[in-house]
Structure 1
Amino acid sequence: MREIEAYEFYREIGLESRLTAINKKLDKKMFYDFADINKKEKTAITKNIERMELTYLLTPITINIQTFINEEYHFEGIMFVTVSLKEGTTEKDIKVLEEVIHGALPHPVVLTFSFQSKILISTGMKRLSKVNKSTVVLETIHRTDWIVDVRGEPVVSDFLQSIQLFNLNFSNFYEFYKDIDMAVEAFENTKTIGIFKVIKEDEQREAHQSLIQQIHEIEQSITRFKTAIKKETQFNKKVELNVNIQQLIKKLDQIKKQL
């Protein structure tokens, strides 16, 4: 097994050979004082973060990529932020942390959580608020599973290959970041469809995501029915619930064939 640290990840995708790392510590106090966070979010930062740093900052000065500014998006650069987590950090804690960090920092962020020789990558597109153009709205956050072995699984290899710098769109920072975000989303979707599949065409990707959402909803319904069966004492109702589950499984198979 070839374990991966955050810096190994940056080296693997080609950042280390193109840019000089900044390694600038981001003080937690900065989030407390300037970010609009509540007590729960402040506690999550205090309790779970060992160290947080701006590892790389991509701007037109440091890399040959142009800014992208229109009425909806304002992409002047990209931040690669590394967060070392403390023992005991839960998935729920990570969800809070990524929302706070993505939401508080000005540029789009590639967020690398690091813990005991494994990493997790989080991305989230940001658009300008329609109400107040001086603020940004965080869209859907995407997140990989924990990556332990850099070459151990096909999904990990495919993911890392897809976000090699030479495979990304250098036309502007919006397209560059979108490529990374789509790759993270594709990694996330492997839990549902079993393969790593990046879909770049907007309409196809929206249709694909709609099917995945349907799968999630059906799987949740199946789980609820299974729980109900365990609690049910009447045989005829158990049979009825089982019939419902079989119908949902059949529907699930039909949807998966469309992916």
Structure 2
Amino acid sequence: MAQIQEFLDIPSNCEVGNVIYKKLFYENMELKKADRDIFIKYVDKIRWCYSLKESNINIKKFQDENFEYDEIEFINVYLKGPYKLKRLADIIMRTIPYPMVLSFEYGNEIRIFTGHQRISLADSSKNTIEEYIYTDWIDLNNLDEIDKELFEGLKLQNLSFTNFYAFYNDIMEAIIKYNASKLTGGSHIVVPVDVMKSTYDEIKAIDYKIDSLRGQMKKETQFNRTVDLNMEIRRLKDKREELRGRLN
């Protein structure tokens, strides 16, 4: 089974290689039965692959009133089934209070999840996730040029070594650019990262709305209402193409 770290040139002295047992999440998160069932049904094994620290890599710690980045973790989740990933990511990233690159692996495919961890104002011993930034499934045995560019951008030598926050932020920005490139079918996007992110989010919201309207059309029995729904779908498609044009 392939691992994302094989593409990133992480030094061997950063390797941890420990298994993280599921009971860690059961005990620390006091999981409800539904969440525990997700772990039992879909998670095969969790491995703490690498830990980047100031002592093993030339990157400085970062701390301000909102963030405390002493290290970056690379954690792999090997799946029995490719489902409920967002919920699994939320549980894992909240249980282990370090910024992490979380990879879900199923067969030869992976999805990468990241998210800045902000110090909780209510409880300084806990962190909150600002927003999850993640990829769709990537087939490691069938990489296209955009996939290859993502992994090239994630190689350590192409990331900022100023401090761990800047380093991690570069990883997140590489994923944002990757997602935008997948939408346009090309990697040469020159708009600022925040524009990429907001445009990508708008397009995904439109896709969700279109899917919802198509579901309504299948159930609709009134012809006039079906026509209205179809016109709304066309309007949304035009809007989506307009947004895609902003990225090109």
Report the TM range for the smaller structure's normalisation: 0.7 to 0.9
Distance 1:169 1:251 in 2: 36
Match of 1:10 in 2: 5
1:217 equivalenced with 2:205 (yes/no): yes
Worse-matched range after superposition: 221-230 or 20-29 = 221-230
Deviation digits for residues 5-32 of structure 1, max 9, x if unmatched? 01xx3232111x4535221121222222
Query: Normalising by structure 1, what TM-score?
Result: 0.84
**C-alpha deviation, 1:183, in angstroms:** 1.7
Are residues 232 and 146 of structure 1, via their aligned partners in 2, closer, same or farther at CA, if it must alter by over 3 Å? Answer: closer
Match of 1:31 in 2: 25
* Aligned length, in residue pairs: 247
**Aligned residue runs from structure 1 range 77-156, under 5 A:** 77-86=71-80, 89-92=81-84, 94-149=85-140, 152-156=143-147
Amino acid of the residue matched to residue 227 of structure 1?
Answer: G
Does the Cα contact within 8 Å between 1:159 and 1:196 map onto a contact in 2? no
Worse-matched range after superposition: 161-170 or 176-185 = 176-185
Partner SS for 2:47: strand
Distance 1:35 1:224 in 2: 33
Are residues 198 and 46 of structure 1, via their aligned partners in 2, closer, same or farther at CA, if it must alter by over 3 Å? Answer: farther
Distance 2:139 2:107 in 1: 9
C-alpha RMSD of the superposition: 2.4
Partner SS for 2:149: helix
Are residues 230 and 25 of structure 1, via their aligned partners in 2, closer, same or farther at CA, if it must alter by over 3 Å? Answer: closer
1:61 equivalenced with 2:55 (yes/no): yes
**C-alpha deviation, 1:83, in angstroms:** 1.7
Note the residue ranges of structure 2 that are not aligned, 5 or more in a row.
none
1:257 equivalenced with 2:227 (yes/no): no
Worse-matched range after superposition: 37-46 or 230-239 = 230-239
Distance 2:168 2:184 in 1: 24
Does the Cα contact within 8 Å between 2:18 and 2:48 map onto a contact in 1? yes
Does the Cα contact within 8 Å between 2:111 and 2:137 map onto a contact in 1? yes
Where in structure 1 do 4 or more consecutive aligned residues deviate above 6 Å? none
Partner SS for 1:91: coil
Partner SS for 1:258: helix
Query: Normalising by structure 2, what TM-score?
Result: 0.88
Equivalent of residue 240 in structure 1, options 228, 234, 237? 228
Distance 1:151 1:164 in 2: 19
1:192 equivalenced with 2:183 (yes/no): yes
Note the residue ranges of structure 1 that are not aligned, 5 or more in a row.
none
Are residues 240 and 22 of structure 1, via their aligned partners in 2, closer, same or farther at CA, if it must alter by over 3 Å? Answer: closer
